Amino acid sequence: MTRSPKGRIFRFTLSVAVITAWPATVWADSSLSPYKMLRSLQFMQDSVVLGDHSAGDMQRFMLETIDNRLRSADAEIFSEPRNADAALVYAMSGGNPATLSYLVARDVEGNFDARVVNVLQKYFDGRGMQVAKTIGDLVPEYRHTALGPYLALIAGNITFPTDARAALGFFDEARLSAPGTIIEEAALRRSIVASMGVSEVKKALSYSRHYARRFVHSPYSNQFADMFVELVVKHYGVVTENDIVDVLEPMDTARRQEIYLRIARAATLRGNQELARLSATEAQRLAGLLDGNGQPVLPSLYESVASVSSSDVVSAIDRLSAVSDETLSERDRALRNAARSIAEQILKPPVADEPVKVDEPRAGATGQALLAPRPQTPVGTNDEQQSVSAPTVPEPAPVAANTDAQPKAADAAIGEGGPVLDFVKQSRGRLGEIDALLEEEGNIR
C-alpha cells in the first residue's frame, strides 16, 4: 500500500516533537555515546528535507551539543568504531571541521582512518581535487558502511568539474544507498546538474521526477526549481509538454503556477513564443483554480514580448500597447514596458553622426603611414585566463536570453563602423533590461 506524503510528514513531525520534548540534560549527559546522538541528528536532518521545517532549530541545537560531546570525550571512547564513524559523519553533516582536526590530533591509537581524514580535510579546505583518486578508491571500500553514502556524495562533488559522467555514478551510489534521507535529496539535485552538463536530458528529467515526488517540500527545493526551469527552457523539444506536466504533478497548485510562470518568462527572453504561450496559458488556468490568490497572468503578453525579436515588430508593439496595466502584475508590467521600449527603438531610424573631419597629411608623410595598423596589445596572459577554477558543485546558471544573436548578425552585415552599428550596440544594453527583470525573480517562495 502506498503511503501518502501527508502521512509521512505527520509521522516525522510527531517523532521530532518527541525528540524536542526530551530534557536538555539528556543531550548534555556526558555518558551518552556519540553514535547515539548522531542517529538523532540524522533523523532530524532527514525530517527537514521531507518537509518538517520546524526541525531546523532542533538540528542546530543537536550539532552544537554533539560538538561539545566530541570535544569533551575521552580519547578511548573512539576505540568503539561506531563512535569514530560518528565523528566523521558529524563533520560531513554540517558539523565543525575544526572538531575533527582536534580529535585526530589526539588520536594516538589510530582509531580514525587517516585516508578518510585526509580526504575530508582537503575537501573542507577547498582542495578536493588533490584527493580525487583517493576518495574514488575509498568509495567501494566503504560501501555498505555508515560512511559509504557520505563518501560517495563527496566523491561526486569532487569529480564533477573534471568528469561529470563519473560524478553521476557516485551520486547514484549515494542516493541509492541512503533512500529517503538528506543524502538522497542532495544527490538528486546534483545529479540534475551533472546530467545537464553532459546533455543527458532524459536522465535529468528522470532525476527531476524522483525529486518532485520525494522532496518537493524540502527547504532546498528552490534550487531544484531553478534547475528545472533551465532544463525546460534550454532543451524544449526534447523536453515535451507531457514531461513538464509529469514532473510538476505532485506539487500544490500555487507552486505549479509559479514554476509555469517562471518558465513563461524565461522562454519569453529566449524568444521561444510557443513555450512562452503554452506555459503562460497553463499558469493562467492554475490561477483560476486558486480563487483569486494566484498571480495574474496574461498569455498574450509573453507571446508578444517574445515576438519583439522577430520580423513582426510592428504587430508586437500594437499587442503590447493593447495590454492593460490592470491585468498585469508589477513585474510583468515592467517586462511589458521594457519590451515595448526596445521594439520602438528597433523601428526608429538611426540618426547619422556628423562626418568626422580628418586633417590633411603633413608634408613628408606617406600614405602608408596613415594606413599602418596599430600594434595589438594582448589582453591578459594565459595564466590570468586560466586562473578561474570551477566550483566544486556548480549551481545551475540563470537562464539567459539569447539576446546577442541579432546584434552579431547585424555586425556582420553592417561592417565595422557607422551609425547603425552604434545603434545596435546601444540596443544590446537595452536588451539587458529584460534579462535583469528575470534575475529579479530570485527563488520561488
Structurally, the chain folds into a number of domains equal to 1
Q: Determine the Cα–Cα distance for residues 90 and 145; give it in Å rounded to an integer.
A: 15
Per-residue confidence band for 298, with pLDDT thresholds at 50, 70 and 90: low
Whole-model pTM over 0.75: no
Q: Which of 16-25, 172-181, 324-333, 396-405 has the highest mean pLDDT?
A: 172-181
pLDDT tens digits along 397-436: 333 334 344 334 333 333 344 444 444 454 455 445 555 5
| pLDDT tens-digit series, residues 299-352 | 556 656 655 555 555 555 556 655 556 656 666 666 666 666 655 555 556 555
The fraction of the chain above a pLDDT of 90, given in percent, is 49
Tell me what pLDDT residue 439 has. Answer: 55
Q: Count Cα atoms within 13 angstroms, Cβ side, for 25.
A: 0
pLDDT, position 343: 54
Angular region, 418: left φ>0, alpha ψ -120 to 50, beta rest: left
Identify whether 334 is part of a domain.
yes
C-alpha cell, 210: 524522483
Q: Find where cell 525529486 sits.
A: 211
8 A C-beta contact, residue 306 and residue 276 = yes
The residue range of the domain holding 325 is 252-351+402-445
For residue 316, tell me if it sits in a domain: yes
Q: Would 416 be classed as within a structural domain?
A: yes
- pLDDT for 102 equals 96
Quick one: average pLDDT of 252-259? 91
In a domain, 323, yes or no: yes
- Grid cell 551520486 is found at 171
345 part of a folded domain: yes
- State whether residue 132 is helix, strand or coil: helix
Q: Is residue 130 part of a domain?
A: no
Beta bridge partners of 239: 236
Whole-Å CA distances, 207 to 54, 213, 311, 398: 27, 10, 39, 20
The mean per-residue pLDDT over the stretch 65-74 comes to 94
pLDDT tens-place string over residues 218-230 = 999 999 999 999 9
Distance CA 71, CA 165 (A): 39
Give yes or no for a contact between 235 and 198, defined as CB atoms under 8 angstroms apart: no
pLDDT on residue 345: 56
Residue 201 located in a structural domain: no
Cα 123–231–425 angle (5° rounding)?
95
Q: Is the pLDDT of residue 188 over 80?
A: yes
- In this prediction, residues 252-268 reach a mean pLDDT of 90
User: Between 93 and 21, where is the model more confident?
Assistant: 93
Residues 6+ apart with CB under 8 A from 418: none
Would residue 418 count as lying in a domain?
yes
Tell the burial category of 367 from Cβ atoms under 10 Å away from its Cβ (0-12, 13-18, 19+): exposed
Give one DSSP letter per residue of 321-377, joined into a string: HHS-GGGS-HHHHHHHHHHHHHHHHHHSPPPPPPPPP-PPPPTT--HHHHHPPPPPP
Burial, 167: exposed, middle or buried (Cβ in 10 Å; 0-12, 13-18, 19+)? buried
